[in-house]
Structure formats: structure tokens, C-alpha cells
Structure 1
Amino acid sequence: MNPDLKQRAAALLKAYEQKSLKIATAESCTGGLVAALLTEIAGSSAVVERGFVTYSNEAKIELIGVPADLVAAHGAVSEPVAKAMAEGALANSRADVAVGITGIAGPSGGTATKPVGLVHFGLARKGAPTIHLERRYGDLGREAVRHSAVEDALALFEKALTD
């Protein structure tokens, strides 16, 4: 990861620790990169409660309780599933804030309506409505899509502190 992102993650963890808040992640296309970045920082255990890598549909359903009918109706890469992932991570952890990430990093798997580079995010917070963010990064290459998604996940965690 780039050093600027690591500094940003360190600042984020410090801000959460000062507010005594814990976070969780539910990651699909990023495969745990957000949790890995955060836990690379010494002292992260004061803030990072847990991370779920829910790469398959079954993992989304079994580990964090995403309704199977939601996946069937909208597909794994969708607003409803991203929000359900964040809510599921919150419900299945002791965190105060959770981010869910699902998308198509490529190079294959895209369609006309769900192209490579499409990523949906959910931000769930105790006592607040769940927020959705959609990004269409384009076909930048798998690594670039995943790293862009990590940056947006950090931005959502930052947003949760200011809302």
C-alpha cells in the first residue's frame, strides 16, 4: 500500500480510538485489503473489531446474514447487497461502524449493466441509516480497482466520524 494511505489509516484509527469507537469490515472484491491496511498499524486492535472476507455469495449469506433472496434478486454486486453486508458486519460484531464492499475488479466478470470497475459500498452505523456509495472506476486493472475501493472505504469510515 502507498505510504500516504497508511498515514491516512493511522489518523483514522487514532480518531476512532479517541471516540472509543470500533469498526468492522465486510469485504468481497477487496479480499480483506481494508482490514489488512488498518491492522498494519500498531495499536489497531483498540479500534478494529473484526473483518469478514465474504468473497462468495455463500459467505455473504452464512457469515454476515445477507438474505439469499436479496442476492438472487439483485446480484452480489448491488446497492442492496452492499448495504446488507455493512449491516451484517455490524450485527455480527461488536463494532459501532462497518463498511461493506462488493464489486467487479476484473479482468473478467463484467456485463453491460455491471461493468468491470463497478463497486458498491455500504456504511452502517449504530443508530443511523445505512449509506450507499457507488463507484464506477472503469477497467483500470484489477489492482487499481481494488486499491481505489480501499481509498473509498477509508473515506466512508472518515465520513462516519463527521456525520
Structure 2
Amino acid sequence: MTTAAEVVHELDRQGLTVAVAESLTGGLLAAELISVPGASAVVAGGVVAYQTPLKATLLGVPAALLAARGAVDPDVAVAMAAGARRALAVEGQAADVGIATTGVAGPDAQDGHAPGTVYVALSAGGEARVTRLALEGDRAAIRSATVSESLSMLHDWLAGPRE
């Protein structure tokens, strides 16, 4: 069973829903989750907020935070994950878990961050987790590794103790 399949199964078993906010992965994370049969029961949806201003308008990331730090930032990633939960509410009910990706896929640096600098964040209830990744490879490899790390973060959260 793939990690995506394990995540979808565990979300379903626990009666939880997930919302996805993506930047550098451009929808790859949502597509990986949705490739699993039965995902419609647990995946609320995904937002690809590739350009920085959309992170504010679609996901509610504070514009001042984006102006001060840029899009490649751990607090931005957390705000994106929380924003996805709200933005993708179903019948007024926010998603239980939000997962977000932001970073630099390359080939060029962005806002002083080298290619491969990525933040993956998870938001659930009052809990937030964020991981900084320093990935190597070409653009496709960085994006693919980000999806894998995102699924691993979600998998670990589902399996572990929570607040």
C-alpha cells in the first residue's frame, strides 16, 4: 500500500477530512491523495496558490507576513495549512486537517532561498507542525520529494499522539 493509500485509509478510519494548500507542488499533493479509490470521502479539496498574493486572498495568509518574509517561510506554511481548512469548508464545517507546501523548486533562487528550500506544514485543531526541508535535485525531483515528505508528515500525525 502506498503512503497516500495509507493516509486516505487512516483518515477514513478516524472520520477525518483533509484540505490541501499548495504552492511549489502545483496540485501534485492533492492529485496523489485523490488517486486513491475512496478519497472523495476524506479529501475536501485543494488550493493551488502559486503566486504569492493568492496566498493572502485565497488562504488568508496575512499580507504583512508575506510582505515581511516572502512566501518561503515556516509561518507562511502554517498559515496556508490553516487557511486551507477554512477555505475548503464543506457545509460550513472546516476540514479537520490542513496540509500545505511552499518553497523553491528551482532552477533559480527565490527571495534569497536556494532551490530545494521547502516548508511543509500541518494544521489540525489548535495544533500546527512545520518542517523545513533542504532537498536536492532538479525541479521535478524537488516537487516529488515535497509530495512524499508531505504525505509522510500527514501519515505520522495520523499515527501518533495528538493534542
For 2:127 and 2:62, the matched residues in 1 are separated by 18
| Residue 125 of structure 1: aligned partner | 124
The TM-score, its normalising length taken from structure 2, stands at 0.90
Out of 133, 136, 148, the residue aligned to residue 134 of structure 2 is 136
Q: Secondary structure at 2:118's aligned position in 1?
A: strand
| Residue 145 of structure 1: aligned partner | 142
Q: Which moved more, 1:115-124 or 1:85-94?
A: 85-94
For 2:47 and 2:149, the matched residues in 1 are separated by 18
For 1:52 and 1:133, the matched residues in 2 are separated by 20
* Residues 63 and 110 of structure 1: CA distance in aligned 2, closer, same or farther (over 3 Å): closer
Per-residue deviation, 1:129: 2.2
Per-residue deviation, 1:159: 2.1
RMSD over aligned CA atoms reads 1.3
Structure 2: any 5+ residue segments left out of the alignment? none
The TM-score, its normalising length taken from structure 1, stands at 0.90
Contact 2:8 2:42 (C-alpha < 8 Å) held by counterparts? yes
Per-residue deviation, 1:43: 1.1
1:42-96 alpha-carbon deviations (Å, 9 max, x no partner): 1110010111101011211111111110001111001111111011112222310
| Residue 77 of structure 1: aligned partner | 72
Letter in 1 for 2:64: D
Letter in 2 for 1:132: V
> Any runs of at least 4 consecutive aligned residues in structure 1 with deviations exceeding 3 A, and if so which?
none
Q: Secondary structure at 1:115's aligned position in 2?
A: coil
For 2:110 and 2:123, the matched residues in 1 are separated by 27
Q: In the TM superposition, what are the counterparts of 1:33-112 in structure 2 within 5 Å? A: 33-92=28-87, 93=89, 94-110=94-110
Contact 1:74 1:80 (C-alpha < 8 Å) held by counterparts? no
Structure 1: any 5+ residue segments left out of the alignment? none
Is 1:154 equivalent to 2:151 in the alignment? yes
| Residue 8 of structure 1: aligned partner | 3
Q: Secondary structure at 2:132's aligned position in 1?
A: strand
Q: Percent identity?
A: 37
For 1:108 and 1:160, the matched residues in 2 are separated by 32
Letter in 2 for 1:88: G
